[in-house]
Amino acid sequence: MKALITSAVCTSLLFVAGCTQDTAKTNENTVQQQTISHEMKKSVLVSGITRANMNKVVRAQDNFYQHVNGGWMKTNEIPGDKTAIGSFYDLRDQSDSDVKAIIEELAATKNLKMGSDEQKVADLFRSFMDSETRNKAGMAPIQPILDNIKNLKDKNAVAAFFGEYQAVGVGSPFELYISVDAKNSSRYATHIWQSGLGLPDKDYYFNEAERFVSLRAGYIAHIENMFNLAGLKDGKTAAQTIMAIETKLAGFHWTRVQTRDSAKRYNKFDVAKLNTLTDKFNWNKYLAAMGVAAQKDIIINQPDYIEGFGVTFGETSLSDWKTYLTFHSLSNFAPYLTEEIDNENFDFYSKQLNGRKEQRPQWKRGVAVVNRNLGEVIGKVYVSRHFTPEAKSRMSALVKNLRGSYSDSINELEWMSADTKKAAQVKLAAFTPKIGYPDRWEDYSSLTIKADDVVGNIIRSGNVAHKKEIEKLGGPIRKWEWGMTPQTVNAYYNPTVNEIVFPAAILQPPFFNMAAEDAVNYGGIGAVIGHEMGHGFDDQGSKYDAEGNLRNWWTEQDLAEFAKRTKILVKQYADYKVFDDLNVNGELTLGENIGDLSGVTIAYKAYKKSLNGKEAQVIDGLTGDQRFFMGFAQIWRSKIVEKSMRNRVATDPHSPGEFRALGALSNMNEFYKAFDVKEGDAMYIAPEKRVKIW
């Protein structure tokens, strides 16, 4: 449930859904990469800029991203078991290797005490890696779930099934989660979010372009294959039934752009009045099965979707709902069942949909399973080995400097009134920074893990996590809680608790280099810090006040001025071509683009302030300003296979890495000065059309 809460409420530096998807190579390729990395280290400048990654044939003024990263782009290929490589993904590979070492050390320890955290980590990993036991078990581990579906007597029982099995990951048409009430941030509330699709987004069901037609055909074939491999009858008919139900649901789904609107998503209903949305569904059965029957109200994020679901629920037969639930149960547990089923699941979701050519090594997938289910057990050991007090201290100083520069920038804004500035300053001062790791660790004492029962482990883990979420209701806000583990390479802002969070694993080069001088660190992790602060003031984060409440604190005129600037930014990014037939979605990516622009702008101010009026040293022929901007561009270094990139453009609120660098810097006057960008250069934007928000 935590993943859903993160995607619905928090705003991360990198797409959360991709956090465990792109990982390491085969052992042979890993050795080769280590050799390449060793050679690269020889060329790292004192400043932290990697000369070997540059392509000086491309002028900085025409494409700064290619200028800084183009050499790396030419010499690095995406291996078959990945869909992307680059700065983030290198650190994720390293994090996975570090976690693997911890797991293997625990797994090699004899006589681990049953019920200890160490035993749970070792045996969860063993249970996933034991392919022989999984193959022998066949469908037996999920047979009780399939039998329950088979025995559903009526649609009231279907409603109860939705509630009972969401906790263990079985897909249903909507998801219930617990999060802070956005209009009363002192309490937790229940929320409903649209769901129920096996394809990534509603557009995949209706777009008539050849790629989407092919994917729909592939999805139908995949469903049939899954039924056949599971020994279930009538796979061909089942596939058509499931596709028909999902297509109906998709027709009512909000678009990704619509779901970004925090104000429109806040729709509180008395539970007793949920039947005004649909009386075709037994809400009492559902909420009781979820364990929230005592709740008096519930926040529906997409109410007209729920109305449409009600129509679909009423029109769809009990038999067809059983077919739908059978597939979604099978799909959910596919990675933990037989190799045949696992490979079929990979073939569609990873190969056909995302362009991954081969499965990740099994140990990589095992690490992801441990991270998802016992993440903070690993996190404690990871932090002790890979995150120093010195790094936390230096990060804390950077956060303080960035906050001070953000405050200065707010005061200097010409377009904002004094009243709005005052409210913005109050919110900025109230930011809670979290650096490295939690002050209080998650308790897994109630979770039972067995070395020969991977499906049972996943089910028990889901139920324990669900119970913890339900226990939040009626209690104080758990401000100590983290939405990411320390070994996660990412960062996020959570508006309802007004916090910025930086896990330990991102605090490494090229983002954060303890051995580098300040320019590259301000351009790297400084821009990341500024990015997360910027989310507090982007087009959605700015709707929340210092206490995390969804409340307007802007004057009407200032809000209009803000909207005018954001519209220009939408147009700028919408003009960027990812492929000849595909542009960036400027509306979907607006919040992240504001975060990037704000982040690098404020980081630059903080860097200049850190010099205390002195000129930065010229290092390797580069001025301090040049190193700063190069440090920013190199953190977005990436290559992504075409299928995956197309999916990301459709679903990811972040722009592709190249445009995250180009878009932000093209709006900064200081960048123009640092690299002598003039009219006629490809990166040039006329001064009156450059966007400055914060």
Give yes or no for residue 8 having a pLDDT over 70: no
What phi and psi values does residue 224 have, to the nearest 5 degrees? -60, -45
User: Which residues, in sequence order, are CB contacts of 83 under 8 Å at separation 6+?
Assistant: 21, 22, 350, 354, 355, 356, 640, 641, 643, 644
Q: Which amino acid is at 496?
A: T
- Residue 159 — pLDDT band, cuts 50, 70, 90? very high
Residue 196 zone, left/alpha/beta (φ > 0; ψ -120 to 50; rest): left
| Residue 380 pLDDT class (50, 70, 90 cuts) | very high
DSSP string for 192-241: EEE---SSSSGGGGT--SHHHHHHHHHHHHHHHHHHHHTT-S-HHHHHHH
**Which residue, 336, 358, 376, sits at the end of a domain?**
336
Top pLDDT among 516 and 339 is at 339
> Are 70 and 169 members of one domain?
no
User: Do residues 590 and 683 both lie within one domain?
Assistant: yes
The CATH number given to whatever domain includes residue 649 is: 3.40.390.10
pLDDT band of residue 15 (cuts 50, 70, 90) is low
What is the reported pLDDT for 24?
29
Coil/strand/helix, residue 180: strand
Strand partners, 98: none
DSSP per-residue string spanning 543-573: GB-TTS-B---S-HHHHHHHHHHHHHHHHHH
Q: Which of 90, 74, 239, 2 is nearest to 635 (CA)?
A: 90
Give the tens place of pLDDT for each residue, 605-633: 999 999 999 999 998 899 999 999 999 99
Cβ 681 vs Cβ 61: under 8 Å: yes
β-partners of residue 44 are: 50
Q: What pLDDT, on the 0 to 100 scale, is given for residue 11? A: 81
pLDDT of residue 23: 30
CATH of the domain at 178: 1.10.1380.10
Residue 249 has pLDDT above 80, yes or no: yes
Handedness of CA 360, 361, 367, 372 (dihedral sign): positive
Nearest to 358 by CA among 16, 29, 74, 89: 29
SS3 for 618?
A: coil
pLDDT digit string, tens, across residues 577-613: 999 999 999 999 999 999 999 999 999 999 999 999 9
Same domain? 153 vs 76:
no
Whether the pLDDT of residue 304 is over 90: the answer is yes
pLDDT average, residue stretch 440-469: 97
Does 318 share its domain with 446? Answer: no
Residues 433 and 325 in one domain: no
pLDDT of residue 46: 64
- Nearest in space to 692 (alpha carbons), one of 672, 666, 673: 666
pLDDT at 255 exceeding the cut of 80? yes
Task: Classify residue 108: in a domain, yes or no.
Answer: no
* pLDDT at 171 exceeding the cut of 70: yes
pLDDT at residue 9, as a whole number: 55
Helices (H), 43-154: 64-75, 87-107, 117-129, 131-137, 143-150
Residue 131 lies in a domain: no
C-beta of residue 540 within 8 angstroms of C-beta of residue 604:
no
Residues 162 and 72 occupy one common structural domain: no
Residues 595 and 469 in one domain: yes
Provide the number of structural domains found in the chain: 2
Q: Is residue 520 part of a domain?
A: yes
Flag whether pLDDT at 114 surpasses 90: yes
Collapsing DSSP to helix, strand or coil, 157 comes out as helix
| Per-residue CA distances from 315 to 107, 161, 244, 312, 587 (Å) | 52, 18, 12, 5, 35
410 and 311, same domain (yes or no): no
Task: Give the whole-angstrom CA distance, residue 549 versus residue 262.
Answer: 11
φ, ψ for residue 456 (rounded to 5)?
Answer: -60, -40
The answer to whether residue 49 scores a pLDDT higher than 50 is yes
Spatial distance between the Cα atoms of 322 and 616, rounded to a whole number of angstroms: 68
425 and 286, same structural domain? no
Strand order in the sheet with 499-503: 11-12, 492-494, 499-503, 432-436
Residues 529 and 456 in one domain: yes
What pLDDT is attached to residue 40? 38
Residue 680 covered by a domain? yes
How big, in percent rounded to 5, are the helix, strand and coil portions of the chain?
A: 60, 10, 35
> Mean pLDDT across the stretch 490-508?
97
Beta strand spans in 372-491 (E):
432-436
Is-contact 447 461, C-beta < 8 A? Answer: yes
Query: Are residues 86 and 215 located together in one domain of the fold?
Result: no
Q: Is residue 11 part of a domain?
A: yes
Q: Identify whether 239 is part of a domain.
A: yes
Please state, in angstroms and rounded to a whole number, the distance separating the CA atoms of residues 69 and 88. Answer: 14
What is the predicted pLDDT for the residue at 7? 39
The model's pLDDT over 31-43, given as tens digits with 9 standing for 90+, comes to 233 333 333 344 4
Q: How much is the mean pLDDT over the chain?
A: 93
Q: Does the residue 187 lie in any domain?
A: yes
pLDDT category at 110 given cuts 50, 70, 90 is: confident
Alpha-carbon distance of 634 to 631, in angstroms, equals 5
Residue type for 407, please?
A: S
Both 400 and 313 in one domain: the answer is: no
pLDDT digits (tens, 9 = 90+) for 640-665: 999 999 999 999 999 999 999 999 99
Confidence of residue 20 (pLDDT cuts 50, 70, 90): very low
d(CA 542, CA 591): 10
Would you tell me how many other CB atoms lie within 10 Å of the CB of residue 482?
24
Whole-model pTM: value is 0.93
3-state secondary structure of 176: strand
- 341 within a domain of the structure (yes/no): no
Range name among 68-77, 99-108, 594-603 with the lowest pLDDT average = 99-108
The pLDDT, as a whole number, for residue 31 is 29
Domain coverage including residue 560? 2-96+366-689
Residues of the chain with pLDDT > 70: what percent?
94
